[in-house]
Structure 1
Amino acid sequence: MSAATGPLPHRFKACPADGIRAEFGVCRGDPIHHIQDLILGDTFLPKRDARWLAVTTDDADHEKFTLAMAANAPHAQLVTLAELIFMSITGQRIDVYAAVCNGQLYFVSETGFRTSVEYILIDIQRREDAVVPAILPTDDPAVMPMTRPHAPQAAKRTLRLIG
């Protein structure tokens, strides 16, 4: 009897981009929210409370990543927008994927950024074929506006002058 016969999914770590801020450069001190905030030569520093989540991918091109938000929730899909290359001040190269899910930018890499270590963005390779799903509003009745049950009585009320 053998164990798993198929290829195992490749494991990565993902961090919301606002968990990393520009330490030196054009957007100095600001958290990252959009891919346009990434400028070559800027120095980035991960926040101490940055959350690194486990994600997996099945494809060799790393076009999509799967993020398990909760056991009873459907898995979220992160779509890769660009490949980034960071160089730490200690000389370590880190390949990172900039991916988006529900309008939020994530950094995905095999190893998470270390706190107290600065990283310099040295290359950006945008993926022109990336198809980002549109964000659509839900028809969830829990979030829809409700009508007041006593609307006719509310019209009869008048403002009372104080003082």
Structure 2
Amino acid sequence: MRTICDTLLDDARGGTLTAPGTTEVLPTLRRLTEVLGMPSHLTVAADGPPLKAGVPPALLERIVSPFLSNACRYARSHIAVRAHRAPDGVRIDVIDDGPGVPPPFAGQLFEPGRRTDPGDGHGGVGLGLPLARRLARFADGEVTYDRGHTPGARFVVGVPAG
């Protein structure tokens, strides 16, 4: 919640989020998993030569972290984070083998304050995914949910190349 609030305040102030930046993707993702205390059943990999994203490291972390947190909550035995080049920038896939998103709820995933099951015993108020999408779009990127991925969930973060 603190990260979300800090991000919103920085954005409202016109702070560092608007500054251009370049991020080495793989080290940033690995650092994020360490900070978040990710489980041992998480793999982080990048395809090809070192990838650079055209966003500051803090912004990339704030975009990806809600997807990693959710994957840790819901994964049964495996979480994979894979970064790769795309024609329009850099893509980061966050994949888990959990229950996935119920199809009737998929259209509401990125609406603020919406959760699939508010009584599931997990914290959260439904702001992480909408904020991640807003920040990605702010950086000329995008965040999507792959409805066809089963079992589990696959989210794709796209950001410009650096």
TM (normalized to structure 2)? 0.26
Give 1 or 2: higher strand fraction: 1
Query: Which of these two proteins has the greater Rg computed from alpha carbons?
Result: 1
- Structure whose residues are more often helix by fraction: 2
